[in-house]
Structure 1
Amino acid sequence: MNLKRISVKLSWMLRHCQTPRYIDLNGGWADVDVIIKALKERFPDFERKTLELIVAQDEKGRYSFDETGTKIRANQGHSIPGVVIEMESPEPPEFLYHGTAERFLDAILKEGLKPMTRQFVHISPDYETAVKVGRRHGKPVILKIRARDFKNDGNELYRSSNGVWQARYVAPEYFTIC
């Protein structure tokens, strides 16, 4: 069984399916039994243990179960309009980082960091993670964000349960190229 292919399908179901037949918009939770049934249609050998393995082994911590184990959700990255995920808004470190591809840099320097098709801009807690993110899109460029200044100036900055920081928009005056 190809766990990567299953994880890609799970990500689409929980984050990007534009007719949210799997998730509740309030919290982004999906019934585990519904998800298992849907994945079994495409992957006949799929079972709950496989879902638990994907959640446990996902290096980015994309998914989480609720406290009862009967619901699952993606922790961030939703493009489905209206999905509301509870996030905390703690005091950020002085700097956070955003990894992107070199080909996007001119537009970002002019227009700032935008969420594009997602609800939030994803911001990494450390330089190394930002490099990995940037590499997925091409030759990486890392932006150093003055996170504390950003928040102190009244901008909203959140942290999801897997440690990814998020903002609706980051103006160019808050970041520099590393």
Structure 2
Amino acid sequence: MSTLEQKSKLLSRWLRHRPDAIGLEIDKHGWVDVAELLLKSAGAGIALTQDELVQIVVDNDKQRFSLNVDRTRIRAAQGHSVDVDLKLPVKTPPPVLFHGTVQKFIASIHRQGLLPGTRRDVHLSATKETAAEVGARRGAAVILVVETHPLLRDGYQFRRSENGVWLIPSVPSKYLRFPDT
């Protein structure tokens, strides 16, 4: 793993789950002051420069982070377990979305549906390929199909993060199509 990849993983941890690990202050919309981040990172023994930070944001294949226009603030695009409101507008999704998981969770998903776990929302993908990549991080991917029109009809709302991940608080199992097992 490259040094930038390691720093990217630390950024995800700090900006999504554990800002307190290095004493960061995240505002209610998820933003952190870049100067504070660089200072606190150095104080934690992680040398991170402004140029490296910009490179991590720009080069990240999943566009996990956003900088504001003048590059003085940064935030994670989604996936927070800390209480933030990213102010993402409600959007109408395509007719189907996808969720990648692994076999060991299928029985639980049949019973409870998709739940956010420690995150604020369930993450859904616009393509089977992306869902397969997500699921494959934990083993052989199982792809679930989410029927969005019935969810919309029943009052559920979707939001889409800046990097294209569809977000919803939960998805009851009756709205899911499971692969033949």
Cα offsets for 1:85-118 (capped at 9, x unmatched): 1112221100000000111110001110000011
Q: Tell me, yes or no, if the aligned pair for 1:14 and 1:23 is still in contact at 8 Å.
A: no
**Structure 1 partner of 2:115:** 114
How far 1:22 moved relative to its partner? 2.0
Matches within 5 A, 1:44-63: 44=47, 46-63=48-65
- Alignment partners' CA distance in 1, 2:136 and 2:167: 19
- Alignment partners' CA distance in 2, 1:77 and 1:160: 10
TM-score normalised by structure 1 residue count: 0.93
> Aligned residues, how many?
176
Identity among equivalent positions (%) equals: 35
User: Closer, same or farther in 2 for the Cα pair 1:19/1:36, shift >3 Å?
Assistant: closer
How far 1:76 moved relative to its partner? 0.3
- Alignment partners' CA distance in 1, 2:85 and 2:100: 24
- Alignment partners' CA distance in 2, 1:148 and 1:164: 18
CA RMSD in angstroms, aligned pairs only = 1.5
How far 1:66 moved relative to its partner? 1.1
- Alignment partners' CA distance in 2, 1:29 and 1:89: 20
**2:75 matched to 1:73?**
yes
- Alignment partners' CA distance in 2, 1:18 and 1:27: 14
Unaligned runs of 5+ in 1: none
How far 1:18 moved relative to its partner? 6.1
